[in-house]
């Protein structure tokens, strides 16, 4: 895994998520209401829904297309379906978002 700088943390409002192109894929980064950050694959494995546009709380995000719910720490779906997305370590260094991808 390599560290990838994504830009300023300020581009993600508190309580929202944004999608970033990283290599050949996309990663959704969420800035939670408590200021913590979470990063997972940006697309739902069910039908490719944009997870950064889903409703997120302090532990899960709900896909805006069909309601699949993913744990923001593990990437595992919390429902009956065995789907998952990859989760990534994310941090802020001198105001810059950095993800290990």
Q: Tell me the domains of the chain and their CATH numbers.
A: 3-100 (2.102.10.10)
pLDDT at 90 over 90: yes
pLDDT of residue 18: 98
pLDDT of residue 1: 79
**Cα separation, 45 vs 68, whole angstroms:** 9
The total of other beta-carbon atoms located within 10 Å of residue 57's CB is 12
Mean pLDDT of the region 41-54: 97
pLDDT at 82 over 90: no
pLDDT at 80 over 90: no
Query: What does the pLDDT look like over 4-29, one tens digit per residue?
Result: 999 999 999 999 999 999 999 999 99
Query: pTM of this prediction?
Result: 0.95
pLDDT of residue 77: 94
What average pLDDT does the chain have? 95
């Amino acid at each position: 895994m390599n560290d990838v700088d994504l830009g300023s943390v300020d581009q993600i409002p508190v309580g929202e998520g944004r999608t970033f192109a990283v290599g050949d894929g996309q990663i959704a980064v969420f800035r939670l209401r408590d200021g913590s950050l979470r990063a997972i694959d940006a697309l739902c494995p069910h039908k490719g829904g944009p997870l950064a546009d889903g409703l997120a709380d302090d532990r899960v995000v709900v896909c805006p297309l069909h309601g699949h719910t993913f744990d923001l720490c593990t990437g595992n779906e919390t429902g009956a379906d065995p789907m998952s997305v990859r989760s990534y370590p994310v941090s802020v260094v001198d105001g810059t978002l950095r993800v290990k991808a």
